[in-house]
Amino acid sequence: MTNTESFENVVLELRRGVIVLAVLSQLSDEQYGYSLQKLLSDQGLEVDQGTLYPLLRRLEAQGLLESVWKLEEARPRRYYVISAEGKKLLPKLKKEWAGIVSVMDKMLA
C-alpha cells in the first residue's frame, strides 16, 4: 500500500463517523438527497452519492430520519427530515463531538 493510499484510507475512516452527525445536523429542514449533498458541499463537506444515499436509508431504518415523496417540477423527490428520535439524539451527539474535538485539540497541540 502506498503512502497516498494509506492517507486516503485514514481520511475515509475519519470522515465516516462525522458524516452521520453532519447529515443529522442539516436535516432540521427537509431536504431531498441531491439538495442535501449540495448543502453539505457548500459548507465544505464533500460526500459522494454512493455514501450519502445508502446512509440516508440506514438512518431512516434506524428511526433517526423520516422521508416523504413529493411531486415537484413534474419530478418526484424524496424529502428527508430529522425525526423526533433523531432530534433527541442530536444534542448528545453534538456534546460527544465537542468532547472529541477538545481532547484531540489538546492532544495535537
Partner 1 sequence: MKLINRYVTEVGKRLPLVKGRKDIENELRSTLEDMLEDHAQKSDKPADEAMEVDLLKEYGSPQKVAETYNQTPYLIGPRMFPFFMMILKIVFAAVALGLTIATAIQIMTQSPMTAIELLSAIGKGILNIFSACIAAFGNIALVFALIERFAPASEFKLDEEKEWDPASLKKEPEPTEVKAWEPIFAIVFTFIAISIFNFNPQWLSINYGDNNMWFIGFGDFAAGQKGSIPLLSEAFFRWLPWINIGWVAEIILNGMLLRTGRWQASTRLFSIAIKVLQIVIGYFLLIGPSIVKVTAESLKAIEGFDAKAAQILATMAQQGVRGLIALIMFLIAIDIIKTVVKLIRQKSSVGA
Contact residues: partner 1, CB under 8 A: 32-35, 49-51, 53-54, 57-58, 69, 75-78
Minimum separation from the CB atom of position 2 to partner 1 (A): 22
Q: How far is CA 106 from the centre of its chain?
A: 26
* Closer residue to partner 1, CB minimum distance, 50 or 91: 50
Q: Is the CA virtual torsion 83, 88, 94, 96 positive or negative?
A: negative
Q: Output 70 or 88, the one with its CB closest to partner 1.
A: 70
Q: With contact defined as beta carbons under 8 Å apart, do 52 and 34 qualify?
A: no
Which of residues 32 and 83 has its CB atom nearest to partner 1 in the complex?
Answer: 32
Residue corresponding to grid cell 484531540 = 104
